[in-house]
Amino acid sequence: MTSVALYAAYASNMDPAQMAQRAPHSPLRGTGWLQGWRLTFGGQDVGWDGALATVVEDPDEQVFVVLYDVPSWDEQELDAWEGAELGVYRKIRVRVQTLDGDVLCWTYVLDDYEGGLPSARYLGILADAAEAAGAPDDYVKELRNRPCKSLGDPPL
């Protein structure tokens, strides 16, 4: 029997259609909240379109996540998509609150400094992914209203 890890997606991989393309053997398990963390952006010089999504610890915040059962071969594909092999993102273990109780998962965090603005296009992709995954309306609205980089803005 193959070991299956539980992955907590907080960015564009929240979209089940995207995950079906990137990791076709990884069914959606459910949704939950990463308590004590906040969604932020960083690595502005790494991303081709502005700062990239990541999560950082913050006791007063929470992040909506989508959980997927990911077998090892799909995990390797996701690592390639997320730049884990290049050192852009690294994996950490986190505890996610679900309606069925807490579960231990892995997620990607940016291996770079926090700061910088994402592009409007990237924020739209994140908001669309959250909406497709069934995130609460106020969470999606907050994503759509976050500050973003204009096309002509110089790097910070």
- Catalytic one among 57, 61, 82, 142? 82
For the chain, what's the residue count?
156
Annotated active-site residue 85? The verdict is no
Contacts 24+ apart (CB under 8 A), 142-147: 143/39, 146/118, 147/117
Whether 108 has a binding-site annotation, put simply, is no
Whether 68 has a binding-site annotation, put simply, is no
Q: Is the dihedral of CA 145, 151, 152, 156 positive or negative?
A: positive
Whether 139 has a binding-site annotation, put simply, is no
Which run of H or E residues covers position 36? Answer: strand 28-42
Whether 8 has a binding-site annotation, put simply, is yes
The DSSP-derived string for 46-84 is TSBTB-EEEEEEEEEEEEEEEEEEEEHHHHHHHHHHHTG
Rg (CA), the chain: 15
Which run of H or E residues covers position 78? Answer: helix 72-82
CA torsion, ordered 99, 55, 66, 93, to nearest 10 deg? -70
Residues marked as catalytic: 82
Which residues participate in the annotated binding site?
7-12, 122
Q: Pick out the residues of the known binding site for substrate.
A: 7-12, 122
